[in-house]
């Protein structure tokens, strides 16, 4: 009978515990967003999207920063684990960026009167989505894993340049998108209950990112190992 290595079994156990904690904290964050945080006087209940929209864009930034660092380490050290981390984080960052675009559109419709505007921040975020969509497509098009990892690492490093551009877009250009209220000069421009709800939501989505990363890196490690075994078997038969 096949016995799973202790390290893999330990990671799976950690995944399970982290998954339960993530689900509980996420539930608390959603309850706080709908029932604890006060309704914003100007925008009404639609402003509650803020408690999802802001955390996922910050977690997307984090995910692509992890891609940036891990890609650099892979090109330097040529260690497979760094490529697995970069690949996993790129997938999660792409997912979060997709959700940012969707939640942003849902928020924009009642406030701006349109689902989409070629606003500087929206446009640069869409460019980020295309960059890392290309990253994932590149991984799927190149059959050689090492070659795909090298090309993707370069794109992962270069693509991260768009992240600080997105962050500064509301400062550099005229934009419909509001200035930051959390990192505003003089402290957060929001009531304590809103700030507490946002903090809880940030914790919830950070846990979700960590849980997804653990699971995805483990699966990528297993996929690469299976690919090597198949290749060795094919060469052995030849």
What is the sign, positive or negative, of the torsion defined by CA atoms of 206, 64, 116, 111? positive
Q: CB-based contacts of 205: which residues, under 8 Å, 6+ apart?
A: 26, 55, 56, 59
User: What is the predicted pLDDT for the residue at 226?
Assistant: 76
Could you please state the CATH topology (level 3) that the domain comprising 15-237 is classified under. 1.20.120
User: What is the predicted pLDDT for the residue at 167?
Assistant: 84
Domain ranges of the chain: 15-237
pLDDT along the chain (238 residues), means of 10: 55 87 96 91 88 94 97 94 95 96 90 84 93 94 89 96 88 68 61 92 96 91 75 62
User: What is the predicted pLDDT for the residue at 237?
Assistant: 61
d(CA 42, CA 34): 17
Is 83 in contact with 153 (CB distance < 8 Å)?
Answer: yes
User: What is the predicted pLDDT for the residue at 77?
Assistant: 92
d(CA 135, CA 159): 9
User: What is the predicted pLDDT for the residue at 108?
Assistant: 84
> pTM for this one?
0.87
């Amino acid at each position: 009978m096949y016995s799973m290595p202790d390290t893999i079994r330990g990671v799976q156990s950690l995944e399970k515990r982290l998954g339960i904690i993530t689900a509980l904290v996420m539930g608390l964050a959603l309850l706080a967003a709908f029932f604890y945080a006060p309704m914003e006087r100007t925008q009404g209940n639609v402003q509650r999207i803020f408690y999802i929209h802001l955390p996922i864009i910050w977690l997307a930034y984090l995910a692509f920063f992890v891609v940036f660092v891990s890609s650099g380490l892979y090109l330097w050290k040529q260690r497979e684990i760094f490529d697995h981390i970069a690949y996993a984080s790129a997938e999660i960052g792409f997912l979060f960026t997709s959700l940012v675009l969707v939640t942003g559109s849902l928020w924009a419709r009642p406030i701006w009167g349109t689902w989409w505007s070629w606003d500087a921040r929206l446009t640069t975020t869409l460019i980020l989505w295309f960059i890392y969509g290309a990253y994932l497509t590149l991984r799927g098009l190149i059959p050689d894993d090492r070659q795909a990892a090298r090309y993707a690492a370069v794109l992962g490093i270069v693509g991260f340049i768009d992240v600080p551009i997105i962050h500064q877009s509301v400062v550099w250009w005229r934009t419909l998108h509001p200035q930051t209220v959390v990192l505003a000069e003089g402290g957060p421009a929001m009531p304590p209950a809103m700030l507490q709800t946002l903090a809880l939501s940030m914790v919830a989505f950070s846990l979700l990112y960590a849980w997804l990363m653990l699971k995805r890196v483990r699966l990528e490690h297993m996929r690469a190992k299976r690919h090597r075994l198949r290749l060795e078997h094919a060469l052995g038969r030849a």
